[in-house]
Structure 1
Amino acid sequence: MKLIDLLAQEVRASAVYNSNAQVAPKVILWTDKLRQWESALPLLQAAMPELIVLGDYAPERKTGPAIWIKCVVEGVLPGVEMPADRTPIVYLPGYERRDLRAISACPESLKPLAELQYRGCWWIYSNAGRDWTVNAFLVSNNGGAGLDVAKDDKTQQVMLRVLPEVLESARDDLSNRRLEAADFNKLVSSDPVRDLLSWMNDSQACRERWESSRWQALVGICETEYHFHPEQDGELTAAELLCQRQGAWEGVWQRFLESCTHYPQLPQLLLKVQADLAASGASYPSINASEEQQLERDLNGLLQLDPAKARLSIGQLESRHAERRNWVWHALAMAPLVGVLEHLAEIANATSNTFSGTDPEEMASQYRESYWRADDHALRALAYPLSPGLQALVQGLLDLIYTPWLDGVTRNFQSLVRSKGYPGIDQVNEATAEYAVAGEAVFFVDGLRFDTAQRLAAKLQGLGEIQLDSNWAALPSVTATAKAAVTPVHDRLTGRLTDRDFEPSLADDDKDFSSHYLRKFLNEKGWQYLEEGGAGDPASNAWLQSGDIDKEGHVKGLKLAARIDTLLDEVVERAEELIAAGWRKIRIVTDHGWILTPRPMSKVDLPKHLTETRWGRCAVIKDSVDSGYQQVGWYWNSAVSIAMAPGVCSFKAGQNYDHGGLSLQECMTPVIQIRNTKAVTAVSAVTAALSDIRWLGLTCKIQAKTTAEGVLAVLRTHPADPDSEITKRKPLKDGKCSLLVDDQFEGSSAVLVLLDDQGNVLAKKPTLVGGE
């Protein structure tokens, strides 16, 4: 691991928090009274895009005064792009922690940031509250690199002078020896290609921090090997030679390709190089920039065309521009439109046919075979990282080529349901059919649409034998109705005319179905209800639920698209835990899919006096009168008549995301089965439950209840991975034991795991090393 990667990891780890007792920190504060880290800022910001710096106003470098930083942290500056999944890091050169602590004496220029210390956290050295100096980071075994660095003045001076090169070095290359001034000097003199690229990346900074001997050595090498003089010819001449890639410069170009992110300012220099007619855009960013500008103009022009012509033109643009995705400029995010064009071209191809069929099943078959890709690529296009202006352009194009197709396909499906009936009424419910006698866990994921299930199935590869099937959601496709229909206790439920909000009742009692009765009926059936993080006993069956796809869709709307992979990764992690615990089969089920449109769905009128309950995509009609819209019977009681919004319209205004309607995307749901193909050992008869975890310094005190002796306790960073153990395994005695942790893990997240003698996970609980 490179030191810069370790540094980024440790700074970000400052934001780890106990979600049971704390809220997520708003910001990580990094003070540096001595300004030791300042010389490496370009490298630090390349490794940590969430890093913003207190200083003169220069938003292109994510630098600015305190009030500007406050606005960036609060997310109210649309022109500043910050990673959505990272806690902002605020670097404060020239200040220390107590400058913020003493608010009354706090400099005026710093006061707008003072309150962030109460909503954020600090990157500080140990518990002493001191700044992390460069030397402290390099030598510390607790949150640092654990290197042996000499303390003499010369070594310390050289170390700071060549800090960027030090951070770019691998920790293994510097370990197991005493590092002195000569060792740090070798870092800067042993790689002339890196020196050349570093100088081209920021010539002024390099000249200021390099020793004269190092600079003169580079000048001599450039004259003899690269045939130019840095002082006389300048960096623009070097940029021209690099783009031309002739002779020895080809090796420099290949190095740039391998480590392009380490030279964030170099592409701006290369953009100044004018290309001739025979030049290749692969090495001339000016050509790529020109092509991007032309592509933006061409795509904007498509907004005036009809959908068919727009689709044809998108295909032609893809043929012209696809090669640019192989250029380094695409990897450096300098060609965002050509990146999203790939998804637009796939959508254009998939939506050229508003398909139908002889009945709903035939339509479903075609969708499962290929047309789900249109929805998948629409999500990927919406999720692609673009500026607000380009996002609006992409949304406009999707509204032109995707939304009409989605509406047409949905109307075709609705027409077939009207004439042929809804197939989910009389078919086997694949989500509840043929449970295994034991060893099967039914894993409910709310709002898992079929196309996202395709992604999930790909992510699950390696856990066992994966099988993706489909099922028909109970109507209307809302959680209250459809989730109840896929539970193992669905036979205990019914629907009454007096039921509200699509929630069924208990068959033997006039009470609403709730999570209390789900647990109660599961227990009566001999099933376990697994809480979050619980592994359960694979000797029986279990129900568990996780995933926030539907919730995030309702809250975030179009921003759901960028969250899909993160949400699916959480499902994969939970499945890994179950497999590690010995479950032989996992059946992933869901209640419904959803519609996501790039522009708000068209609103259609449905008079309130006709409805008992009205949602966006469906409504309960009073006394089954004719609403003027297609009506279907409620899954739990067909005497309750439900109106369905036509196409991808909505009974409510302003909806980008919704479900409950009658479409393939909402109603044809996935069922994923994972069969554990690893050697199956006898299911453990031992059970265990954690009662208490307490920390005394770096000693973890454990108390648990077990049904037999031989249970082992261990701390891991990943609960199902034995290779992530950070302590020795120790047996419980009378349900108790203590685990001692090395100080390098202090403050990091871990999981306490209880194991049987076969290594099966019996129980687990997250914790923070050293106390919470």
Structure 2
Amino acid sequence: MKLIDLLAEEVRASAAYNSNVQAAPSVILWTDKLRQWESALPLLQAAMPELVVLGDYAPQLKKGPAIWVKCVVERALSEVELPSDRTPIVYLPGVERRDMRAIADCPEALKPLAELQYRGCWWIYNNSGRDWVVNAFLVSSNGGVGLDVAKDEKTQQAMLRVLNEILESEREELSNRRLEAADFNKLVSSDPVRDLLSWMNDSKSCRERWDASRWQALAGICETEYHFSLEQDGELTAAELLCQRQSIWDSVWQRYTESCQHYPYLPQLLLKVQPDLAASGESYPAINVSEEQYLEQMLQKLLEQGAAQIRQSLQALEQRHAQRRTWIWSELGLAPMAGVLEHLSQVAEKTTKVFAGADAEEMAAQYRDHYWQADDQMLKALAFALSASQQVLVQQILALIYTPWLDEVTCNFQGVVKSKGYPGSNQVNEATAEYAVAGEVVFFVDGLRYDIAQRLNQALQRLGAVTLSANWAALPSVTATAKAAVTPVHNRLTGRTTDRDFEPSLLDDDKDFSAYYLKKFLQEKGWQYLEEGDSGDPASNAWVQSGDIDKEGHVKGLKLAARIDTLLAEVVERVEELLSAGWRKIRIVTDHGWMLTPAPMVKVELAKHLTETRWSRCAVIKDSVDSGYQQVGWYWNSAVSIAMAPGACSFKAGQHYDHGGLSLQECLTPVIEVRSTQAPVTTSAISATLSDLRWLGLTCKVQAQTSAEGVLAVLRTHPADPDSEITKRKPLKEGKCTLLVDDQYEGTSAVLVLLDGQGNVLAKKPTLVGDE
């Protein structure tokens, strides 16, 4: 791993927090009184695009005065875009932490940033309050690189002089030896290609920070090997030679393609090179820019065409521009239109045919085999990183080719349900049938649509034997109705005509089904209800619920598309944790899918006086009168009549995202089974139960009941991972022991684990280090 990548990980890790007791920090503050890191800013910002710098106003460098920095952190300025999935980092050269502590005495230039210390966190040396100086980062084994660096003045000066080269070095290159001035100086001349690219990336900065010997060495190499003069020909001549890729310059080009992310300003220089008619856009960014502009203009013209012609045009454009996705400019994010075109052309292909079937099952089979990809590609197009105007253009194109297809397919589905019936009405819900006697978890993920489940299915393959099947949602396809139907306690529920908001009642009482009764009935059934972070006992069965897909859809609308992979990663992490804890089978179920349209759904009128309850895609009709729309019986009581919005329409205006209607996207739900392929963990002959856990400062007092001697206690950050232990293992004596934790872990989420002599986990309990 390169040191720059390790540095980025450590800075970002300072924003870790316990979501159970803390709010996410809004910013990471990085103070540097001695300005030691300042010379490496271009490299740091390339590795950490969320890095903003306090200084003179230079927005193109993500740099500016305090009030500007504050606005950027709050994402209030359109001129600077920070990654949405990263905590902003504010680098403060010439500032130390105590400069900001007392706001009344804080320098005027810093006052706009002072309050961020209460909403953010610091990247500081081992919680000491001191800056991470370069030497400390290189030598520290706790939050640093763990190198052996000499302390003499020459070494320290050489270290700062070649900081960029150090950060670009692999950790293994510098490990297992004592580093002195000579070792750092060798970094200067050992890689002339890197020096050449660094100079082309930022010639002024390199000239200012390089010493005379390094500059002269590179100048001599350029004249003898690369056949140009640094000072007389300049960087533009070098850019021309690099784009031409002749002779030795081809090796320079190959090096650039391998490490292009480390030279963020170099494309701007290469753009100044004017290509000739025979030039390839692979190495001339000006050609790529021209093609991007042309493509955007052609996509804009599609808005004047009909759907069939748009599909043909997208396929033709794809043939022309697909190759550009293999160019380096695509990797650098400089070919976004070519990138999104791949998904648009796929949507065009998958929506060419409006499919139907003899009944709902036949349509579902076609969707599972092929047409789910139309929804998946539509979401990927919406999720692609584009400018605001480009996003609008993509949405407009999708509205012309995807939404009409969605509407017609949904109308076809509604037609076969009307004539042949809905398969989910009278079938045993497969998601709740035939559980293993023990060792099986039912993992509920709200709003796991079938096409999204295909992505999850692929991500889970490495964890065991994985199968994906399908099931039908209870109608209407809303959480209150459909989640209750897939719980292992659905036989304890019923529907009454007086029930509201699609929520069933208890079979032996008129109370609404709620989270309280879910936990109560599971316990009576002998099932565990696992809270967040709890892995439970694989000797029985358990219910887990996680994932915020549906919640994010209602809150973010179209922006859900860009969040899906992150949300699925959280599900994968939870599954991995459960398998590591010894569960043999995990059955992932959901309640419903959803409909997402690039333009707001067309509103259809439904008289308010006809309805008891009216949501976007469904409504309860009073006394089962004819609403003029297709009506179905409620899953929990068929005497309750529910009207369904036709096609891809809505009973409410302005809806991009919703569910509850009658469509394949809403009603065909996935069931994913993950079976562990690891050998079962041998059950320990020793049993242990945690009785008490208390913190006195950073001392953890443990009390437990054990069936025999030899039980060990330890704190880990991951319960099944011995490498994550943050204390020494201590044996329990008469059921008690004390664990001491280093202050660097204060406030960290941890798990107290009890182990037998073979290291098997007997019991565990989540905690917060130092929690009072």
Normalising by the smaller structure, the TM-score range is: over 0.9
Residues 165-190 of structure 1: CA distance to partner in whole angstroms, max 9, x if unpaired?
Answer: 11112233223333222111111111
**d(CA) in 1 for partners of 2:567, 2:419:** 38
User: 1:166 matched to which residue of 2?
Assistant: 166
Q: 2:465 & 2:361 partners in 1: Cα distance?
A: 26
The root-mean-square deviation of aligned C-alpha atoms, in Å, is 2.1
Matching of residues 465-476 of structure 1 within 5 Å: 465-476=465-476
Does the aligned pair in 1 maintain the 2:126–2:744 contact within 8 Å? no
Letter in 2 for 1:9: E
User: Shift of the alpha carbon at 1:749?
Assistant: 5.4
After superposition, the Cα gap between the structure-2 partners of 1:755 and 1:337, relative to the gap in structure 1 and judged at 3 Å, is farther
What is the TM-score when the length of structure 2 is the normalising length?
Answer: 0.96
Q: Within 5 Å, give how 1:547-566 maps onto structure 2.
A: 547-566=547-566
SS in 2 for 1:461: helix
Deviations 1:717-770 (A, max 9, x none): 433334444555444344433445678867765544334556554444455667
Asked whether the equivalents of residues 633 and 642 of structure 1 are also in contact (C-alpha less than 8 Å), the reply is yes
Confirm or deny: 8 A CA contact 1:15 1:121 kept in the other structure. Answer: yes
2:93 maps to a residue whose letter is: P
What is the identity, as a one-letter code, of the residue corresponding to 1:219? A
Determine if contact 1:32/1:95 at 8 Å carries over to the other structure: yes
CA contact (8 A) 2:340 2:381 kept: yes
> Mind listing any 5+ residue stretches in structure 1 that lack a counterpart?
none
Aligned to 2:76: 76
Q: 244-253 or 719-728, which moves further after superposition?
A: 719-728
**Alpha-carbon distance between aligned partners in 2 of 1:298 and 1:547, rounded to the nearest angstrom:** 39
Asked if 2 retains the 8 angstrom alpha-carbon contact of 1:535 and 1:761, the reply is: no
Counterpart secondary structure, 2:316? helix
Counterparts of 1:766 and 1:32 in 2: how far apart (Å)?
Answer: 36
Map of 1:63 onto structure 2: 63
- The match for 2:6 is 6
Q: How does 1:367-446 map to 2 (within 5 A)?
A: 367-446=367-446
| Structure 1 residue 640 corresponds to structure 2 residue 640 | yes
Say if 2:39 is the partner of 1:39: yes
The answer (yes or no) to whether the contact 1:476–1:634 under 8 Å persists in 2 is yes
Mapped to 2, the partners of 1:516 and 1:768 lie a distance apart of 26
**Which letter does structure 1 place at the counterpart of 2:391?**
Q
Alignment-derived partner of residue 262 in structure 1: 262
Counterpart CA distance in 2 for 1:760 and 1:409 is 53
Deviates more, 1:167-176 or 1:22-31: 167-176
For the residue of structure 1 that corresponds to 2:431, the secondary structure is coil
Deviation of 1:677 after TM superposition, in Å, equals 2.4
Q: Distance in 1 between matches of 2:514 and 2:749?
A: 34
Structure 1 position 104 matched with structure 2 position 97: no
The alignment status of 1:114 with 2:110, answered yes or no, reads no
Alignment partners' CA distance in 2, 1:46 and 1:491: 57
Residues in 1 aligned to 2:602 and 2:760: alpha-carbon distance in whole angstroms: 53
**SS of 2:276 mapped into structure 1:** coil
Q: Distance in 2 between matches of 1:418 and 1:587?
A: 32
Q: In the aligned structure 1, how far is the partner of 2:220 from the partner of 2:743?
A: 47
Which shifted more, 571-580 or 40-49?
Answer: 571-580
CA contact (8 A) 1:142 1:746 kept: no
- SS of residue in 2 equivalent to 1:586: strand
Q: Deviations over 1:330-366 (max 9, x none)?
A: 1111111111111111111101011111111110000
- Helix, strand or coil at the partner of 2:299: helix
**CA 411–78 in structure 1, closer or farther in 2 if over 3 Å, else same:** farther
8 Å CA contact 2:8–2:48 kept in 1: the answer is: yes
Mapped contact 1:199–1:206 kept (Cα < 8 A): yes
Letter in 1 for 2:368: R
Shift of 1:75: 1.9
Cα offset, 1:426, TM superposition = 2.0
Deviations 1:77-134 (A, max 9, x none): 2342211121111111122222222323323222111111111111122333222221
Asked whether the equivalents of residues 382 and 395 of structure 1 are also in contact (C-alpha less than 8 Å), the reply is yes
Q: Deviations over 1:138-161 (max 9, x none)?
A: 222332222222223222222112
| Alignment-mate amino acid for residue 31 of structure 1 | T
Give the TM-score of the pair, scaled to structure 1: 0.96
Does structure 1 residue 539 correspond to structure 2 residue 539? yes
3-state SS in 2 of match to 1:228: coil
- 1:284/1:14 CA distance change after superposition, 3 Å: same
- The more displaced of 32-41 and 53-62 is 53-62
Residue in structure 2 matched with residue 226 of structure 1 by the alignment: 226
Which residue of 1 is the match for residue 15 of structure 2?
15
Report the CA distance shift for 1:108/1:193 in structure 2 as closer, same or farther (over 3 A).
Answer: same
1:733 to 1:294, Cα distance in 2 relative to 1, 3 A: farther
Task: Indicate the residue corresponding to 2:665 in structure 1.
Answer: 665
Helix, strand or coil: the match of 1:431? helix
Distance in 1 (CA, whole Å) between partners of 2:736 and 2:339 is 56
Deviation at 1:467, TM superposition (A): 1.0
Contact 1:443–1:587 (8 Å) recurs in 2: yes
* Residue number in structure 1 paired with 2:343: 343
How is 1:507-522 mapped onto 2 (pairs within 5 angstroms)?
A: 507-522=507-522
Alignment partners' CA distance in 2, 1:761 and 1:282: 55
Amino acid in the other structure paired with 1:140 = S
Provide the C-alpha distance between the structure 1 equivalents of 2:583 and 2:175, rounded to a whole number of angstroms: 43
- Summarize deviations over 1:673-699 as a string: whole Å, max 9, x none: 112222224455766554555566776
Q: Which residue of 2 aligns with 1:187?
A: 187
SS at match of 2:52: strand
User: Could you say if the C-alpha distance between residues 685 and 667 of structure 1 is closer, same or farther in structure 2, counting changes exceeding 3 Å?
Assistant: farther
Between the aligned partners of 1:98 and 1:585, the Cα distance in structure 2 is 53
Deviations 1:177-219 (A, max 9, x none): 3322211111111111111111111111111111111111111
Q: Is the 8 A contact 2:18 2:748 kept in 1?
A: no
| Corresponding residue of 2:364 | 364
2:489 aligned with 1:489? yes
Q: Secondary structure at the match of 2:672?
A: strand
Correspondence for 1:354: 354
Contact in 2 for aligned 1:581/1:762 (Cα 8 Å) = no
Match of 1:402, SS? helix
Which residue is 2:600 aligned to? 600
Verify the 8 A CA contact 1:538 1:683 in the aligned structure 2: no
| Residues 532/72 of structure 1: CA separation in 2 closer, same or farther (3 Å cut) | same
The answer on whether the counterparts of 1:582 and 1:760 sit within 8 Å (CA) in structure 2 is: no
Does the C-alpha gap of structure 1 residues 680 and 103 become closer, same or farther in structure 2, counting only changes over 3 Å?
closer
* SS, match of residue 523 in structure 1: helix
CA distance in 2, matches of 1:721, 1:337: 43
Aligned to 1:622: 622
Contact conserved, 1:580 with 1:761, CA < 8 A, in 2? no
8 Å contact from structure 2 (residues 445, 547) kept in 1: yes
The answer as to whether partners of 2:363 and 2:413 remain within 8 angstroms in 1 is yes
Which residue identity is paired with 1:85? D
Quick one: percent identity of the two aligned structures?
78
Q: Which amino acid aligns with 1:317?
A: L
* Corresponding letter in the other structure for 1:250: D
Distance 1:225 1:565 in 2: 47
* 1:718 aligned partner: 718
2:207 is aligned to 207
Once residues 481 and 685 of structure 1 are traced to their aligned partners in structure 2, the CA distance between those partners, rounded to angstroms, is: 44
Contact 1:32-1:93 at 8 Å conserved across structures? yes
Which letter maps to 2:220? G
- 3-state SS, counterpart of residue 582 of structure 1: coil
Query: How has the CA–CA distance of structure 1 residues 386 and 368 changed in structure 2, closer, same or farther, with 3 Å as cutoff?
Result: same
Q: Aligned partners of 1:19, 1:587: CA distance in 2, in Å?
A: 26
The whole-number CA distance in structure 2 between the counterparts of 1:747 and 1:239 is 50
Describe the shift of the 1:145–1:681 C-alpha distance in structure 2 as closer, same or farther (beyond 3 A).
closer
Whole-angstrom CA distance in 2 between matches of 1:134 and 1:238: 32
